[in-house]
Structure 1
Amino acid sequence: MDKRSNQILNQLLAGGRLQLAEISEKYQISERIVRKKIRELNDELNESGLPSVSINGEGILRFEVREEGLLEQIQTFIMNNDFYTYHLSKNERKTILAMLLLNQEKYVTAAWISEYISTSRNTVISDLNDLKDWFLKHNMKLVSQVQKGYIVEASEGDIRSGMLKLLELNLDEEKYGAMGAFHVFGHLLLKEIQYQGRYETIQKVLREEELRHDCFLSDFSFSVAVYELLILAERVKKGKTLEQERQPDWENASLSSKYPLSRAVLDRLAEEFSLDIPAAEAENFVFCLRRKSYLKSGTNNVDQLVIPVLIGEVIYRIISRFRINFYLDFALYDLLVDHMKSSVYRMSSGEVLENPFRGEIEKGYPEVFCTVEECLKPLEDYLGVKVPRDEVSFLVMYFASMLERDKLERMRERKVPAVLVCAMGRGTVQLMLAKLKQLEDVLEITDVRSSHELKDMGNINDQLVISTVAFPDGEIKNILMVSPLLEQEDIYRIRRKATKLRENWSGGQTAETGKFLKKQKKAERNSLGAMLSADRIALKQEAQSWEEGVRAAGRLLYESGAVTYEYIEAMVENIKVNGSYVVIYSGIAAPHAEQEKGAVREAASLVSLKKPVVFGNSENDPVSYIIGLSILNSNSINCAIYNLVRLFSQEEAKSRIEAQQSPEELLETIRRLENEYCG
């Protein structure tokens, strides 16, 4: 199951039936892919003894049997999903990984994380490098140590704040039912703080104490309070309390009207979960409660925090309606909150900020406009004013951009459908399918056909055709001829073709998509030849170990001013901590470090060795070529890495590279070969 399958399943539970065409249009995927997802979903449902989803001749989806208790059975089915059965998207994976790291008490290795979330080690390392920046932006530090792994260093308050935002911005109870039980991603995110067995108890205790204290939270504030208590219970159980971070103003917490409610709730939770909850936790929870909105409260005092709370509710209502997740993008959320605060200030002062694009926005995003207007009503009721349409249009721009971003992410994750055409027997087909597994991030084999069957396929032109059989030119639009044994060269040609097709399909979808593709094309100008220079190439060098080789490549970068001296050691340290993943192809290593370790500008160096060295990579050792990389933007070196592997996978190109006797000749040869082989 994945996010899309989960959404289709939820819609079926809610409405009973769906139109195939509507799903295809809504999620920007072909009807064929929808059918494939339903087949895969049915396999999982049948394994659990649940009824299948059928698609009739009119393209209507419904459960074959909708017996009593189906809702509870599906809930159990969803909650049984784990990292082995649910395919996390890139954003979902990083969000889960952030929560996992925040809640760790000791160092964890990339290998352990890889096993835990059922993802490759290289993918985990890439995610961890991205997350380092995210943690720094939020007053936390992701520390890595050789032979120990990774751990987050931060105050307990900042850790809890990060955990709360991950839950608050990514769980949608309105659409998926209590505690995200019909939302696999939400379920997996909550599992990191051990919500099962606690969630219902916390809800029950909070409801009962609301009634006893005649103090009732709004739905949004109630949900957030439950998340805060879940986090509190898990952290206190781990021995992580706020006792050491007691603030001076907490001394007056016992005088607050919310203190009796805070104390009563935490006393009961201490008993329910056998926890020793310090007084500082009750004092802090008072301030959590003061930041909430109430339908009814035991005090007539109007807290100055009510506006931010109402703004949070408005945003929550809107993203729930459109099923938008912020994932790790706290900055966008904060920017949106700040804008809404400014809008409230302008309305209070009788000012109106005119939006010159209001007409185009209303016309281009009518559904978003209507939804934002509707969700603003609680804030309008509190302020006693109607939000001007110009102000609404500014908010629509924010949410429309999020929808466009979400659409773009879907397009980038979309796999290219492909038909495999083979004239050989079943054994050859199975071998080819096994080899094509390494392309499953961009490719989806939808069918296997013989050449004479192809004429009966009316929709063949909207798929990539991978064929061992020749066809007349122009007969089939997107076709690649390959060897039945699928040589490495064939694999790279298929990946290149699939990537181009996916980019072409993405292009023209939205204005935002167009801008993205332009940025990608601009980034791709950083080919290997463009990043190299003759003074950063050293041929036939001596090196006794991989460390010596890496330092030689690093010195070439340093001497040309591309990096600081510290960057050289950071390249070595990166390999010691994260392993030999830098050995990207047989005989080739591409060591690098993070930008903040001393990268000044983007550049590459190349060292060829007299005798190969061993990095500890069983698949691609020993290494004869070390390409040092100074990285400012990971996307901008994609082309260089691709071209590097592409050239060294070609025997002719590799021979021409090895034959060059001077840095100048080698640089010219690489640039010429990139034009020939990489286009």
Structure 2
Amino acid sequence: MNNRQKELLRILLTNEEGALNIRDLSEELDCAEKTVRNDLDRIEEFFLDYSGAKLIRRPGFGVMIGIGEGERSAILRSLLSSEPKSNEERLIEITYQLLTSHKAITLQYFSDSYYVPKAAIKKDMEEITNWLHVFHLELITKPRLGSVIEGTELQKRSALAHLSELIPSLSNGKNFVLDLFLPYEITTVRKALEDLRDKFSITFTEEALESLLVHALIMTKRTRQRSSVFVQESEKKSALGRKEYQYAIWFFNQLESVFRLTFPEEERIYFTWHLISSKRVDEGSEQVMEYDEEVAEVLPVFIEKMGKLTLFDFEADSVLQNGLAVHMLSVINRMKYGFPIFNPLLSNIKKMYPYMFNMVILTLEEIKSTFHLEIPEDEAAYIVLHFQASIERMEGKRDLKKKALIVCHMGIGMSHLLEAKIEQQYMDIDIVACIGKAEVTDYIRQHPVDFIISTVPLEINMEYLVISPLFGQEDKKKLSQFVKKVKQNKPDLLEQNAFSQLLTEDLVFFQLDKGHRYEVVEMLATTLVNKGYVRKEFIHSAVNRERKSATAIGGGVAIPHGNPSVVQRSAIAAAIMKEPIEWGDERVSLVFLLAISKENHRDVRAVIGKIASLSESPLVVHELTVAENYQDFLRIINK
């Protein structure tokens, strides 16, 4: 609401003398009577979020508000605490209003509401339009009426749940969607979810609980607006037999009694889908396999193919099978019900584990047609963590002394990865358990622990260290202050030898001038075809792979690659760009196109490891970009 509307609302809330005349209100607010009536419409819409508030219009007498004292106080406090909005907050609020409005809204309305020029609102609209395309929604402008979002209710709800991603640089882990709801609504829904968890002994991850909170709040809002989801009859029947449907019935009974609201059956089905798709930490692989046929089919094939690609015995790792079974159950259900996730760690995972990320993407491509399962890179990045943790368990050496507890808020895969990395690199640390924040107090009361390593701040009377879930260089320095001995990794000569053997002078291009990354990939791939290293299909597979997910790994370096089954002789083609080129969300100066056959797949890890280490050294990358010939280029790589 704009300031005039807020003042009108304040007048109505503080009035104790019966109905107020429209003419009197127009004089007090110094505006036309028509403007007052329009503002009353806006207030009426605002009251949809308050089940106990109602705008009462009495023709010939005036208007008044019917409201309880509790909600009257809450609204007045909200009005008093209103502050000017930042550009980012304005963008999120405008998007929220467009997604929840049945009517078109004009630029002038937003301009008046936020006290900014229409030009600024137009710029916001352009940004919103581009962002909505991810959710298959269209922002339509209707002459003289304004802008309105067109799409299905499911698509709109998906966008609402991901509003924080509209400004990824601003979020910093905070979910801005919650700021759009009243404190009592958040408290009520959160308590109902926690009661649901405790009553039925469901061990949701903290991340899953937060996601359910957001979706339940959106359901409440849209139910008040009489904008329910549409569910096919066949989908209704399949949900009715699930235990999660009974959970949903119980949950909505709690909300209905507090909000004085009746949720339609479609909302129960919709929430059932969310419960089915939520990540949990207590199920083992056998339970999941028995419960879900699709996971039982996909998982063994996936793990077997990953083992063949990487030459690691993943099938012997029961921890991997357990964690991945639980995770894949959630992934498959999210894909089935159309609940995309945003992975805030995607770019970091791609940079830190480029080899494993590419192996997972390659395996997912192979099984896609068999199981009709298309998994986006946001999901794939979480899967990477499970396999990376498995490798680090296999390679880690245990010489453990200090007892440490890991508190991680991001689920099984991330917890196991963090555990494996710490135990591998710190010889005198014994990770006794990986738990969620809610379990800390009970755990340390019952088990002896020397110190705690946490990914979130804790409220405990014990020394603990907060680190990033990905455990980067700064975190290693911080942890080194806690312990005396640190495991040192020796340089791997295999990386250097494998890389040098695959890179030849006729496959390195200096000062390459191309406008788009697809052109670079196509040119390098065509060179490999012409020189007999790969079959012609390699070009299409390499460009397609790049379309699916940009292969930049940070530091100005990219590692595109194609289908290894069409490689005849393993090779690497390299390009030093004349000017840095856009490569997804990054700018790249060095491109290494990998063409490594399945027979030589042992080399892939060594090669990507070498390139990843290069990307972490800005000085080396700079020296490579100014190299004038192949001899200098190779010397810099090998030094």
Q: Is the pair's TM-score, using the shorter chain for normalization, greater than 0.5?
A: no
Q: Which has the higher relative contact order, 1 or 2, with Cα contacts under 8 A spaced 6 or more apart?
A: 1
TM-score (norm 1): 0.35
TM-score (norm 2): 0.37
